Structures are given as structure tokens and as C-alpha cells.
Structure 1
Amino acid sequence: MSVVLAGLPLLVVIAALIARQSTGRSAVFGLVAAVLVAASTFGFGWADAADTLRGWSVLVIEVVLIVGGGIAFAEAGRRNGDQAVISGWLRGRLGSGLAPALAVVHGVTPLAESLTGFGVGVAISVPLLVALGFRGHRAPVIGLLGLCAVPWGAMGPGTLIAAELAQVGFTEFGVMSALLSLPVFIGAGVTAALVAGGDGRRLRAVVLATASGLVLWGSIWAANILFGTAPAGAVGAAVTLLVHLLVHRLRGVKLAMTARELRALLPYGVLLGGVLTTSVLVRLADAGDTAWRHLSSPALWLAVAVLVTLHAHLGQLRPTLRHAGATWWHVGPATGLFIFLGAVMAVSGMSDQLADALAGLGEGYLFLVPFIGGAGGFITASNSGANAMFAGPQAQAAATLGASVLPVAASQNVSASLLTMATPSRVELARRLCPDEPEMTPVLRPVLGFTLVLLPVLSVFTVLVA
């Protein structure tokens, strides 16, 4: 009976979301259920609740500030025209056919999503794909497949949540998530190549897609090691996009930029450069466990990047923050509440109960890890929410079985992120960005099919590594 009660908060969240309640309201229902069950069954008192609130408040504040900063940065770039300028420059250099599709899937969308998060990468890439000549369902499908690096979306708050709940190092966790993302990156590229069509040479398309995916995988893996997890997705995607552009340069395409185009890139350089430089300095000073680590927080540098973006348009600062605040209200508080939900379940012992039940499945449980994570990602449309719900129990179940916690938690992270690209809200956003607004089914079918094929592949990877 205690196992059923331990899982009740998660069931409450799932039921609320199925009933089409907002994410925030669903998180409130789940947190209230968790507190009531923890108090009535697991001896979780007010003192425990206060300690949990204090212990997790720093993480929650950092995560919600990263979320708000990413939204504000995207809105600032839209208002001052930087996004349009950069998209126009890319449109003139990528050409048409397979090459630009792969550049978007492994470069443009992951870069935009890593810097901002929450589907902004799709909002930038789909109009670009339409301008590059992709019609019908192809533009939204290719744009959604670019959400293959969501573990590093918005500078990685969802991955940070999972690392904290699984009690593993953030950098080590990012490296393992990168390793397990290999089939995701290659699979997204191959699927995009098949959707993009072209001259009919499918073998060539698959080979090029695989090579592009390997570049993204190697770049993100190396960036995790060299610079830390938070900026790794942006760095890896930027390197991959640069490789694609250099290939076009070898074919005679000029990569020169005007002064306006260079100014449009400046805020991105400040954001990435700031996070990278301070991350290295904090690591060299061995100050990762001190207050100095906040100097390398994406929350700080996103705020700086917003000011740099609007330095010549300060009149747009207030409407930008107003719009960002309204958008943040739909996702920020819910993210924080999901973190507290996971913390209450972990501290009270509810996660232990769920972990024991999962471990009771034996070694076969490891094969199910990505399916549990994927279900969380599909239900919440957020790897932050999915990790807050399931990362703790999954990690503890692995420990109970005597398996390695790090790859199991990373599998949860990667699979939860994978299924966010197939959620109805993301699919609806992608198709509505197209002038002809294709039907839902032709967009959803290839994306959902890709994710469902990848889940058993991730299961095999999880069993082998764990």
C-alpha cells in the first residue's frame, strides 16, 4: 500500500495533465499530494518541509532565473531584429536540399535551443526552413528533429535538476548524457535526411547525416569535458554549424558578414564567451563548491546578453521584460514546483519506496528506464519536469539493483528530452509557423515514430553501460 501512496503524487500530475490542466496547476496538485502523503504516511513534518525548502531553494532560484533569462533573450533578439538578420544571413549561405536540412537539425536548432530553450529553437528554425524551400510537413518535421540536444536546452537546467536528484556530479552527468545521445543525434539526422528528400541517393544522404551527427556528438562531448555541462550544447552546435558553413565555403560560398550581421552575433558571443570564460576560471580556482560558481551561471550571462542586445534600443527593455514575464509565468513557477515535488519525494522516503518497487523487476528494469523517462518527457513536455518527477526514483532503483547510477540517470535525462519533440504542444507550434499550416498527423507521425524507434535503442545502450 505504501508503494501506491508513494506513487500517488505522480499519478495526480499525470491525471491533471491528461485532464488538460495547465502544467503549473498540475504541479501544484502533485506537490500538495506529495506533502499530504509524506506527512500522513512517511512521517514528514513541518520541520522537514522547511529544511527541504531551504536546501533546494538555491537550485530552484537558479533554474527559474535561467528559464526567464532564456525567454527574455529570445524576445530581445526578436524585437531588435537580430534573429531576422542572422536567419537571413544563414539563408544566403546554406543553399538548398540536404545540406541545409542537416545544418539546421545539428546546428541552428540545437544552438538556439541551448541558448534559450523551451521550443524557441523551433520558432527560429521552421521559418528558416520554409525560406530555404521546404514545403508542406517537411519544414516543421525537420525543425522538431533539431530538438535532439534538449538535455542542454536553456543552458541545461533540466540536466542540473536530474544531477542533483540523482546525487551525481553535474559535469560527469553531462558527459554521460552526451555519450548516450549518440544514437539520438545520428537518428535525428538520418530521419531529417529522409524527410528532406533530394536527388534520390539515399545511401549518400544517410552517410552525410551520420557524419553530421557524429560532429555534433563529438563536439558536445568534448565541450562537456573542457567547459562544463551548461554551455556544452551551445558550443557543440556552434562547432557543428561552423563545420557545415566551412564545407559550403570550400564549394565557393562566401561567408563574409556586414557590420549589422556582426552586431547581431555580438550578444550570442557575450553569452557564450561569458559562460565559457567564467566556467574555466571557476574550475581553475577550484571554486566550484563556493559562491563564486554563480559567476559562471547562465542566469547571470543571459541577463547581460539581454542588456547587450537592447543597448541601442533601451526603450524596448520594459516591453521585452513584460512579454518575457508573461511567458515565464506559464513555465517558470511550474518548473520550480516540479523540483520541490521531486525533493519532497526524495527527502521523505517516497522515492525509496518507488525505487524498491522498480528494483523488484530485476535486471529487466534497466531496459525500461528510457521508456519511463520518455513517458515523463511526453507528458510534461519538459525534461525539467520529467527529471524532477522520475530522476530520483530511477537513480535509487539503479543503486538498489547494484547498477551504476550515472548511466541510468543519464538515460532518464536523454529519453525524457527526446520525447519532448513529439509532444502535441511542440508539434502544434511547429506546424503553425508554416504559411500553409500542414495537418497535425503528417507532422506528428515521423517525429513520434523516430522517438519510439530510438527508445529501445537507448534501452540497449543503458543495459550495456549500466
Structure 2
Amino acid sequence: MVEWPMALLASTPIVCACALLALGVRSSIAASAAVLTAVVVSVLAFPISAASAVEVISSLGPVVIEVLLIILGGVLLGGLLRASGAQAVISEWIEKACSNPQRAVLLVVLGITAFAESVTGFGLGVIVGIPILLHFGLTPARAATVGLLGLTSGAWGSLAPGTLVAAELGNVSFRLLGTWSAVFNLPVLLIMSLTSLVIAFGFRRAAPYMPHAVGVSLLMWGVLIGFNYFISVPLAGVAATLAGIATTLAIARIRDGSRASFRGPIRRAVLPYTVLIVGLLSTSLLLDAFDGEGLVEYVASPALWLLITCALTPALVNMPGRRVPRLLVEGLGAWWTIGYATSAFLVLGGLLSASGMSSAMAGFAAQLGQPYLAMIPLIGGIGGFITGSNTGSAAMFSTSTVQAAEQLDSSRLIALAGQNAAASVTFMSAAPRVTLAITVADGGQRGTTPFGSVFRPVVLANVAVVAVLGAAVFLLA
């Protein structure tokens, strides 16, 4: 039985990180402070054995490197596509392909924003989706809100490094965690798409298009589950959002008479995405067919294919080579900020696990009994909201979540998937994400759209999803 003073002491590093982030301190500083706190607490009460340290370093080291390279690739690719004009070309084509405003909102929420998020991550999908929403007459506040609600593929954002971290720290199968996270993603798709319609147009104008939202959400859900289990976890978000885009465009062609042609500049604009998807998909299938293991597995790494795509993108989109060095410098600057904070949170997770602090927190939580299971999505959701990423939440909570589930004789896989799914949706209401969306919607002008007008509806939608996930984990785990 774990006494509350020891559990409170063990939780000090996490409380430190959350408190600093809530006060607006930069994530890199908050993560560093939490790591330092974990070291001090470990020295005082939770000594780390040499064997535990070696085990954590050997298991977590490769994951940290891969996650950092994925972040680097995502940041660089997003910058190259914006600077080359490829994203603008894609946005203009979508505007022509979807003349109905309600259908355009669903295309952005269930397709465009989520697709961009799946590939590049870090909430950058709103940069693609919000200008399209403004074109169809939404006010900046509504466009920013709907754009954020379109971040429905957070568990697979930037090709799923957060889910990978949760699987490694929780010692569960990456494929099965991705699959169960997909199962729990249904309320995310349904609540976000239906809420977006109502926010954009009011209930009366939105109601005729709700069957479309439900139907496409169910289709994407099926693709998401199947792709995670049978083909590739990193590409599952890409596959599901492409299915949503294709279905919505087909409905627009049939019902609205859209006649947009997939010719000319649009073909060149999507070439980088094509290289990334084809490369990842083909190598994943080959590895599965020949049971590739060891170093060969890195051939199908999202990090490798993101970097290959970045190297090829200037030629693919006919971008002048003289612009690349400046973009590379800017990208490395952004990567350092994001990467340092992410790696610090991963080190924090390793320290909590190796020192036994996670075990102490888990033991105390397990004393709450089965009701604790319903709280797991709430804890993961708070982590996603505070850190602004499911990776940060996974680093802080995955080990203790799994250990608590085991002590309660419950499924650690389902518990961890509930935590992952919740953190992957609440990050959309993190202050940096909301600020980014408002900035894009206002065209870079400050103070035009009130922060609360966007923040409140997004948080309410997040709360609804987390409540559903809490009930689901309680019943299924």
C-alpha cells in the first residue's frame, strides 16, 4: 500500500511541469525544471539502480532519436510546402472542388486539416484549413474554431510519434495501441464534425448535412482501425483522411455538380505527399511480407521518409534552390524549440519509470479502485492540454497508467489507448494552438478576434469527448 506522502512526492515533477505551463512558462523551461525536480526527488527518496538506468536508456534512446527526426522532417516539410506555394495551390483547388459551404466545412474538418496534421503535426493543419473556411464566408472567430476542431487525427499527427512513445513507455504493441486508439477516435470524429457544422451555420442550416458528417466519420473510423491493425500505424491518419476527402469530393460532384479537374498545378503540388505516402506504404508492406527486423525496420521509419521527402520537395514543386538554405535555417530554429521540449519530457518519463516514481503514483491511484479507470482519459487530456501534444502527455503518464491498470487487473492496452486518445484531442485547445488559429484567421493582426470566443467552444467539445472516453475505458478496460 502506497502512503499519500510518498505518492505526493513522486508526483512533484509532473505537478511542477503542469504548474509552470499553466502559468505561461515556455515548454522547454517547464520540461527542464520538471527533469531537475525529478532528479532531486530521486536522490532524496527514489534512488535509481544501475540496471534500471541501463534498461531505460537502451529502450528510450532510439525512440528519442526517431521522434526528434520525425519532428524535424515534419517542420521542414511544412515550411517547404508553404514557401513554395504548394499549399496555396491545394487550397485553391479545394475551393473550386467544393462549392457548397456546409460540405466545404466537412471537407476541412474531416479531411484537409486532419490530413495536414497527420503529415506535419504540431497543429499546423489549421494553417491549411482556416483560409479555406474564410473563403466560404465564415467569420474569423468561427473559422478559427472550426479549424481547431479539424485536428481530429492527433494520435497520428506527424506520423504518430506520440503513439510510439506511449507504446514504448507502456511496454505494449505499437500496432495494437494504434488500433485501440483508432477505436476510441469515433467520438472525436462525430463530436468534432457535428459541432463544427453547428458552430459554422447554426443547427437549422447544419441539420441536412449531419448524415454526411456521420457517414463519412464512420467510413474514416473503419479505415483508421483497419489501417492501424493490418498495414501501418504511422500512415493510418493519412489513409483515413484521404478516404474522408475522396468521399466528400465524390458527394460534392454528385450532389452539388462540382467539376474540378485534377490537372495542371495541382498535380505538382501534391507530389511531395505522394512520395511520402508511397515510400512509407511500400516499405511497410515489404517489411511485413518478409518479416524484416533489426536495423532493416528503419527503412520504413516515418523519420527517414519525411527527410527524403524534404530533400526531394524543392525539385518536385519546382522551387528555386536559393530559397532552400533560409528555409532550412528557419526550420532548424523551430525544430530546436519543439524538439528540446519534447526530448526533455521523454527524459522525464524515463526518470519517473527508472526511479519507481511512476510505480508509487500508480499504486496510490489503484487504491481508488475501478473508478480510477474512468479518470484515465481526464488525466491524459489534462496532459495534452497543458503540454500541447500527445507526446508530452504520453511521456508523463504512460508508465503510471499501465502500472495502475495492471494493479486493478484491467487491460493496460485499453487504459493506455484511452489516455492517448484523450491527449490527442485536448491538445487542440492548448493556448499556443488557439493563438495560432486566431492569428491565421485574423491575417496576422492582433486583438481582432477575442481569445475566449475560440477557446470556449473548443474546450467544451474537448470535455464532451473526454467524458465519453472516460465511460468507454471504464466499461471496456
State the TM bucket, normalised to the shorter chain: over 0.9
Q: 1:379 matched to which residue of 2?
A: 386
1:435 aligns with 2:442: yes
- TM-score with structure 1 setting the length: 0.96
**Cα distance between partner residues in 1 of 2:60 and 2:140:** 46
1:26 aligns with 2:30: yes
CA drift at 1:435: 3.3
Q: 1:420 matched to which residue of 2?
A: 427
Superposed CA deviations along residues 187-224 of structure 1, whole A, max 9, x for unmatched, are: 00110110121692554233222122212212211211
Q: 1:332 matched to which residue of 2?
A: 339
State which of 405, 410, 414 in structure 1 corresponds to 2:412.
405
Q: 1:67 matched to which residue of 2?
A: 71
Matched residue type, 2:463? L
Alpha-carbon contact 1:310-1:316 (below 8 Å) kept: no
Alpha-carbon contact 1:34-1:344 (below 8 Å) kept: yes
**Cα distance between partner residues in 2 of 1:460 and 1:16:** 30
Alpha-carbon contact 1:130-1:139 (below 8 Å) kept: yes
**Cα distance between partner residues in 1 of 2:159 and 2:343:** 16
Superposed CA deviations along residues 63-118 of structure 1, whole A, max 9, x for unmatched, are: 01101100000000011111111111111111132111011101001100000000
Alpha-carbon contact 1:97-1:196 (below 8 Å) kept: no
Relative distance call for 1:274 and 1:234 in structure 2 (3 A) is same
State which of 319, 323, 326 in structure 2 corresponds to 1:319.
326
How many residues end up aligned between the 2 structures? 465
1:464 aligns with 2:466: no
CA drift at 1:48: 4.7
Alpha-carbon contact 1:375-1:419 (below 8 Å) kept: yes
Q: 1:275 matched to which residue of 2?
A: 280
**Cα distance between partner residues in 1 of 2:119 and 2:321:** 22
1:366 aligns with 2:384: no
Relative distance call for 1:34 and 1:178 in structure 2 (3 A) is same
Alpha-carbon contact 1:150-1:417 (below 8 Å) kept: yes
Superposed CA deviations along residues 306-342 of structure 1, whole A, max 9, x for unmatched, are: 1221124332221121111111121111111111111
Superposed CA deviations along residues 268-323 of structure 1, whole A, max 9, x for unmatched, are: 00001111111111111112x41111111111111111122112433222112111
Alpha-carbon contact 2:184-2:418 (below 8 Å) kept: yes
Unmatched segments (≥5 aa) in structure 1: none
Alpha-carbon contact 2:66-2:303 (below 8 Å) kept: yes
Alpha-carbon contact 2:99-2:258 (below 8 Å) kept: no
* RMSD over aligned Cα atoms: 1.6
Alpha-carbon contact 1:374-1:418 (below 8 Å) kept: yes
**Cα distance between partner residues in 1 of 2:369 and 2:53:** 33
**Cα distance between partner residues in 1 of 2:28 and 2:203:** 47
Greater mean alpha carbon deviation, residues 360-369 or residues 43-52: 43-52
Q: Percent identity?
A: 35
1:57 aligns with 2:82: no
Q: 1:170 matched to which residue of 2?
A: 174
Q: 2:192 matched to which residue of 1?
A: 188
Q: 1:101 matched to which residue of 2?
A: 105
CA drift at 1:182: 0.7
State which of 270, 291, 313 in structure 2 corresponds to 1:286.
291
Greater mean alpha carbon deviation, residues 102-111 or residues 215-224: 215-224
Alpha-carbon contact 1:65-1:299 (below 8 Å) kept: yes
Q: 2:460 matched to which residue of 1?
A: 449
Greater mean alpha carbon deviation, residues 303-312 or residues 392-401: 303-312
Q: How does 1:91-130 map to 2 (within 5 A)?
A: 91-130=95-134
Specify the SS of the correspondent of 1:95.
coil
Alpha-carbon contact 1:189-1:212 (below 8 Å) kept: no
Greater mean alpha carbon deviation, residues 38-47 or residues 7-16: 38-47
1:8 aligns with 2:12: yes
Alpha-carbon contact 1:375-1:416 (below 8 Å) kept: yes
Unmatched segments (≥5 aa) in structure 2: none
Greater mean alpha carbon deviation, residues 350-359 or residues 2-11: 2-11
**Cα distance between partner residues in 2 of 1:27 and 1:50:** 22
Specify the SS of the correspondent of 2:137.
coil
**Cα distance between partner residues in 2 of 1:274 and 1:16:** 41
Matched residue type, 1:274? G
Q: 2:397 matched to which residue of 1?
A: 390
**Cα distance between partner residues in 1 of 2:261 and 2:352:** 54
